[in-house]
Amino acid sequence: MTKSSIAMAETEKFSANNYHPLPVVLTEGKGVWVRDVDNHRYLDMLSAYSSQNFGHCHPRIVRVLTEQAKRLAVTSRAFYTDKFAEFSKVISNFSGMDKVLPANGGAEAVETAIKISRKWGYESKGVEKGSAEIITCEGNFHGRTTTIISFSTEHQNKNSFGPFAPGFRNIPFGDSGALDRSITKNTVAFLLEPIQGEGGIVIPPCGYLREVRSICRKNNVLLVMDEIQTGMGRTGFDFAYQEEDRFGGAKPDMLILGKALGGGMLPVSAVLADDKIMGVLRPGDHGSTFGGSPIACAVAIEAINVLREEKLSNNAKDMGRYFINRLKKIPSPLIKEVRGRGLLIGLELYPKAGGGRRFCEVALENVILCKETKENVIRFAPPLTINESQLDWSLERIKKVFRILEKEN
């Protein structure tokens, strides 16, 4: 038995079966590379679903994490801390929003945004208590809690987990007319991802974010953007909405961050909004024992510093363009489409290719780690620190994967 097969067998025996991992057992990481227990090296092109934007074990983030661990880690928000004060100021400046509410996981931050939207609706917009409605998009992914799966359109996310929470209405993603038609007097918010990540790297039509921004403003509806996956430089901008904001008017009322905000080290998430919205919360309305802990704050501050000082959003833009162009040149009859923004890239296969899972298994054998999203879309989302020669290295291997799959075909 290899070390790998022992670890896989123990995982299957002692853990819930809610994931279907690729057959590799990782034990070390550095930058864009990870190593398995049998000492093979792989290029990580998943980055923990965009949590590892800075590369594995970034030395600056490791240093801050360990130093803060020795100093003061968790206090709860029953007391003020120096690190929470600093984090609030840094992330407010970084996001251009007045105020932050810290949490841990992404789904928890989405839940927080839902609560704030509803309270804002009742207290500020004057919606009748208990009847607030939030509009969401078909194909969305916002997390796994019972409320959030209530507006999922993915069958497996919901199957067997009802009854579902009321107060949500789905419309097609990318169709601003549908938003305009769906708003009622009870609508408090429109919640969307600027690019749907889990939905298959779905990019809305150009101008969509500006249109929904203006429709929401006209109707006194909050525009809430879930940038848990697209934020922190991933799409070539600090936040994906900025691609359209350059021309003015795509800034959301509420911004949700997570994943890479934790520096690839800890679960750190945040909801950001201006005073007029965040101001509806009173002490006791909402909270989280670990949210805003000094250690989480220290790591998030350093993540933001590294993002800025290493100019990772720009690198994501340049490397993304380079990589997408080269993926598009792979002459395989199995490729339906290559699309993406920055280093959030989807390669869609024709169904005849044998499925995304098969692609990822062959990629693994060729030391490339990636994961399908939806049945036939491969997501390539390497750390934003990746360079051209590492991408070239991966392209040779990806071409080989296609040669193998074409033979199987």
Ligand X SMILES: *Cc1c(COP(=O)(O)O)cnc(C)c1O
Q: What does the binding site for ligand X look like in residue numbers (CB under 6 A)? A: 49, 105-107, 110, 141-143, 193, 197-198, 226, 228-229, 258-259
Tokens 């790297």: give the residue: 201
Query: What minimum distance in Å lies between the beta carbon of 339 and ligand X?
Result: 17
Query: What minimum distance in Å lies between the beta carbon of 403 and ligand X?
Result: 32
Q: Is the peptide bond before 163 cis (omega within 30 degrees of 0)?
A: yes
Question: Which of 339, 354, 337, 368 is closest to 406 using CA atoms?
Answer: 354
Comparison of 136 and 313: residue with beta carbon closer to ligand X: 136
Comparison of 116 and 334: residue with beta carbon closer to ligand X: 116
Burial grade of 156 (CB within 10 A; 0-12, 13-18, 19 or more): exposed
Query: What minimum distance in Å lies between the beta carbon of 258 and ligand X?
Result: 5
Q: Are the CB atoms for 229 and 344 separated by under 8 Å?
A: yes
- 226: annotated active-site residue: yes
Comparison of 107 and 334: residue with beta carbon closer to ligand X: 107
Comparison of 150 and 390: residue with beta carbon closer to ligand X: 150
Secondary structure E strands in 202-291: 222-226, 254-257, 269-273
Q: Are the CB atoms for 342 and 318 separated by under 8 Å?
A: no
Q: Which residue in 36, 175, 226, 238 is the catalytic one?
A: 226
Query: Partners of 189 in the beta sheet?
Result: 134, 222
Q: How many CB atoms are located within 10 Å of the residue 153 CB?
A: 15
- For the chain, the maximum distance between any two Cα atoms, rounded to a whole number of angstroms, is 65
Query: What minimum distance in Å lies between the beta carbon of 334 and ligand X?
Result: 27
Q: What are 306's two structure tokens?
A: 């590294």
Buried b (16+ CB within 10 A) or exposed e, 94-133: bbebebbbbbbbbbbbbbbbbbbbbbbbbeebebeeeebb
Q: Which residue in 54, 141, 168, 380 is the catalytic one?
A: 141
Minimal CB distance to ligand X: which residue?
106
Q: Are the CB atoms for 134 and 167 separated by under 8 Å?
A: yes
Q: Which residue in 83, 125, 259, 317 is the catalytic one?
A: 259
d(CA 290, CA 76): 6
Q: Are strands 168-171 and 344-349 parallel, antiparallel or unpaired?
A: unpaired
Query: What minimum distance in Å lies between the beta carbon of 283 and ligand X?
Result: 26
Query: What minimum distance in Å lies between the beta carbon of 141 and ligand X?
Result: 5
- 173: annotated active-site residue: no
Comparison of 13 and 20: residue with beta carbon closer to ligand X: 20
What residues contact residue 358 under an 8 Å CB cut-off, 6+ apart?
405, 408
Query: What minimum distance in Å lies between the beta carbon of 51 and ligand X?
Result: 8
Comparison of 141 and 151: residue with beta carbon closer to ligand X: 141
Comparison of 168 and 402: residue with beta carbon closer to ligand X: 168
Residue positions annotated with a catalytic role:
141, 226, 259
